[in-house]
Structure 1
Amino acid sequence: MTTPIYDTPILGMKTRPRVDETVVYGNAGNFWVEYPTGLVDLTRSQNLEFHKAGGEVKNVKATPEPPALDSKTQVEISVNGDRTIRVDAAKTALVVIDMQNFFLHPDLRDHPKGLACVDPLLHAIPPLREAGAKIIWVNWGLTDHELHTIPPGLVRGFMRGSRGGFGGQLEGNFGRLLMRDAFNSELYGPLQPEYEKGVKLGTDVWIHKNRMSGLWGPQTALDLYLQEQGITTLLFSGVNADQCVLGTVIDSYYRGYDVVLVEDATATTSPEGGYENVVYNIGNSYGFVTDSKRIASGSAANH
């Protein structure tokens, strides 16, 4: 028996066969173009369905072949599902979520899978910088005022019984829990100097968040920065995959950003299935899935 068409994933890029002819998704101002070659062009640079003729916008048949890659401004990255995405490097950012001491430092957390993300992340960052992409470090960093505005469910989630919680004093020199400028809120190990290096290069920014998602509201620091910079494509990494990473991914998807997960630079402490579900749903619904090796090879090949 054949599977009914309505039972197939609507956005199942991991299982969907390549298109038979060039397809444009979206509208004249905001669009992707997918080609039979497996290329999905996210640059929004050439909408093949529309052109100006005599001052009027007319619908034209899309050509089957993709335009030549502009190696000075564009990067192609292989992704899961037998696809390659083409992005505008200047409109692309790697968003690194919560790779902080509180979530990764062995004195505070047993998170071997999170620690295993450090090297892949360090492998992906330099070629993205070289290509012209931004690196955005999105981290918990609370103020004393925000301690009085955080919703009760979130407050309770960071407590153990009646102890601890946001702003609580940690042992040793780790400082107050997830407060700005505390040692537990700094990036873990080699990531902190890597961020500082990027600041000097003018490629990296640090953005504080006060919810699981960095894009939970229209006026968050991350949302404003992305709009100001004209960024449309977001590559995601960090911890935890099914919590703060997923929350930011979904909000990004809702706002219309292109979503790409860097799977070997993302992890969680949740039981088996938590991470796998995130990878599955991003690859099948929200966007695309790649890894640090494919990012590095794609960026190096184009620059």
Structure 2
Amino acid sequence: MSTPAPVHDHPISGMTERPRVEEITEYGNAASFWVEYPSGLLDLTRSVHAEPPHKQASEPPLQGGQIDIPVDGGRTIRVDATKTALIVIDMQNFFLHPDIRVHPTGLACVDPTLNVLPALRSQGAKILWVNWGLTDHELKTIPPALVRGFRKRGGGGFGSEMSGNWGRLLMRGAANADLYGPLQTEYLKGSEAGTDVWIHKNRMSGLWGYQTALDLYLKEKGITTLLFGGVNADQCVLGTVVDAYFRGYDVVLIKDATATSSPEGALENVVYNAGGSYGFVTDTARIVKAVESMK
């Protein structure tokens, strides 16, 4: 006969496996809170506090601007689209273009990303393209570990002139720092429509440091829920996900829009912890279907 695990074993893990709550449960504080219902719904909109079970037997009806998105673990998250942003990280030529590197799993994320954009835009969600984009001043302050990490096979590293017409490595405005192929075109279209914003970063995490461009934008727009995709899953995506989690944003990883060039197991680890600790995991098909069901 096996011994049951202690009740507090792995207290912040396994959230996708845990059973549904038996009564309406609120997490957080008066200003920032989630409400979970026995039906499996988690309301992230911060719009309706939990009422005692004898006053409220089920979740409130869906309001205008809200979307119910199925996620792993048999749950559904309710988000306010106007307070939601898709964060697409480093889908740049330097990381994806076949003339620069071989990244088939990253390229496989392009179509799912393109497919989900119209659905999110149609509901008022913002699309934030968060990318490496360095200035000459920033080259003087990057720590040695990062500098060394980008000097591979004798390359010059950040700011060095790349062969061909790619420009300086990951510098703002350089061709290698542009979004890959159709993503650049899609960004320009969204930028003209006012739905898409380009945000530069100078570390693996887009939220590293005090008052980053990304954090300031999110605070200014009142955005609380972040959908994540991009490359590489276990590096820049993970760094930004973890910092978002620490800062109190709602974290949702879109697994078919996220990839890495690291060995097997790296992506699985990120997906496991995204759903088991940091927040939730879904895919583009479920987001698109959730939006279509509202029409």
Q: Same fold (TM over 0.5)?
A: yes
Equivalent residue for 1:65, pick from 50, 58, 68: 58
Cα distance in 2 between the residues matched to 1:9 and 1:283? 14
One-letter amino acid of the counterpart of residue 6, structure 1:
H
Once residues 160 and 21 of structure 1 are traced to their aligned partners in structure 2, the CA distance between those partners, rounded to angstroms, is 55
Distance (Å, rounded) in 1 between the aligned partners of 2:160 and 2:195:
33
Q: Distance in 1 between matches of 2:49 and 2:13?
A: 21
Matches within 5 A, 1:1-303: 1-49=3-51, 63-70=56-63, 72-160=64-152, 162-303=154-295
Identity, in percent, stands at: 68
Query: Over residues 76-133 of structure 1, what are the superposed CA-to-partner deviations in whole Å (9 max), with x where a residue is unaligned?
Result: 1100000000000000000000000000000101000000000000111110000110
**Shift of the alpha carbon at 1:11?**
4.7
Contact (CA 8 Å) 2:23, 2:53: kept in 1 or not?
no
Unaligned runs of 5+ in 2: none
Give TM-score, length-normalised by structure 2.
0.96
Partner secondary structure for residue 302 of structure 1: coil
Question: Given that residues 36 and 64 in structure 1 are in contact (C-alpha distance below 8 angstroms), is that contact kept between their aligned partners in structure 2?
Answer: no
For 1:48 and 1:184, locate their aligned partners in 2 and report how far apart those are by CA, in whole Å: 49
State the Cα distance separating 1:299 from its structure 2 match.
1.5
Amino acid at match of 1:28: A
SS of the residue 2:136 aligns to: coil
* Aligned 8 A contact 2:13 2:273 in 1: no
User: What is the total number of aligned residue pairs between the two structures?
Assistant: 293
Amino acid at match of 1:68: P
| 1:168–1:39 Cα change, 3 Å | same
Counterpart code for 1:140: W
CA distance in 2, matches of 1:147, 1:26: 40
For residue 163 of structure 1, report the CA deviation from its aligned partner: 3.1
Deviation at 1:291, TM superposition (A): 0.3
CA RMSD in angstroms, aligned pairs only:
1.3
Q: What secondary structure, in the 3-state scheme, does the structure 2 residue paired with 1:197 have?
A: helix
Q: Partners in 1 of 2:220 and 2:54 — Cα distance?
A: 34
Q: Which amino acid aligns with 1:5?
A: V
CA 1:62–1:225: 2 relative to 1, 3 Å = farther
Query: Is the alpha carbon distance of 1:154 and 1:29 closer, same or farther for their aligned partners in structure 2, counting shifts above 3 Å?
Result: same
Please state how far the C-alpha of 1:8 moved relative to its aligned partner: 4.6
* Runs of at least 4 residues off by over 6 Å: 59-62
Letter in 2 for 1:171: S
Q: 1:232 to 1:96 in 2, by over 3 A?
A: same
The structure whose residues are more often strand, as a share, is 1
Shift in Å, 1:9: 4.4
The two structures have a TM-score, normalised by structure 1, of 0.94
Are the counterparts in 2 of residues 240 and 266 from structure 1 also a CA contact under 8 Å? Answer: yes
State the AA in 2 paired with 1:248. T
